[in-house]
Amino acid sequence: MDVLRQLIQTIVVIVILAVFLEMLLPQGDMRRYVKMVMGLLIIVAVLQSVAGVINSDLLRDIPDVTEAPSGYHPVPLEDIMAAGQSLSDANRQEAAQQYGRGIARQVMSLAALNNDLQVVDASVQLHENTNEISGITVFCSSGVNQSPTPTTEDNAGPDGSGIQPVIISTPGADKPGGAGVQPTATEMQAASDIAGLVANFYNLQREQVHIEFQ
């Protein structure tokens, strides 16, 4: 009922406005032309009001004759498009980051299957446009598993007391300057195995998987 009341009110005001404008028209030959345009405007306004009542898209291509009633400031279309593009880019970037993190966790789980090397971290490089995996880097800790894992048979220490000696060492401490990391042959073999496993699992070239020792 309120909608109908609003519709009638709008049409009445439009007709009064048209009559008031008609009084302003010149007397000459131009009067007919201006009256025609005024009539068209009234038709558009009425059609828009009726379309609003029946929720139709009758006037979807017509610029709005009526505007929002209170406090509405229309935003330019370019700004809306730019904001939508920016939001889309941000969402795509966030999705790519989450995808990369998920793949990195999978890579770490795969690499952890190899007991000869301790995997510290993994990072995944993705193509900017296609979001395909362009490379995987696995960070390993060198010198952690240098001694073989003790079995139940050799649990006893050298003195037979069952206590293993504690060896404290830092990576690269035996190098001059202490900066470089030199993995052992076992670790190199394990790194190669891990790289092959990861490359096969994700259908990558072997060269796309890098192992870095820390």
Partner 1 sequence: MDILQISGIALTGAVLAMILKTQKPPLAMLLSIFVGVTIFLLVLTKIGAIVDVLRQLAGQANISSVYLGTLLKIIGIAYIADFIAQICRDADQGAIAIKVELAAKVLVLVLAVPIVVAVLQALLRLIP
Binder among 3, 8, 31, 163 for partner 1 (CB under 8 A): 31
188 scored as a contact of partner 1 (CB under 8 A): no
3 scored as a contact of partner 1 (CB under 8 A): no
**CB proximity list for 189: less than 8 A, separation 6 or greater:** 116
2 scored as a contact of partner 1 (CB under 8 A): no
State the residue for tokens 């009922």.
1
Structure tokens at 153: 């048979």
* Closest residue by Cα to residue 67 from 36, 45, 51: 45
Measured from the CB atom, the residue of 13 and 163 that comes closer to partner 1 is 13
Structure tokens at 213: 């020792």
Determine the interface stretch with partner 1 among 65-73, 75-83, 144-152, 154-162 (rule: CB under 8 A). Answer: 65-73
35-64 residues in contact with partner 1 (CB under 8 A) are 36-38, 40-41, 43-45, 47, 58-59, 61-64
Q: Taking CA 150 as the corner, what is the angle to CA 148 and CA 155, rounded to the nearest 5 degrees?
A: 150
Q: Tell me how far CA of residue 210 lies from CA of 107, 139, 143, 192, in angstroms.
A: 12, 8, 18, 9
Contact flags string 80-99 toward partner 1, x per CB under 8 A: --------------------
Binder among 7, 25, 96, 199 for partner 1 (CB under 8 A): 25
Minimum separation from the CB atom of position 15 to partner 1 (A): 9
Binding residues for partner 1, rule: CB under 8 A, are 10, 13-14, 16-17, 20-21, 24-31, 33-34, 36-38, 40-41, 43-45, 47, 58-59, 61-69
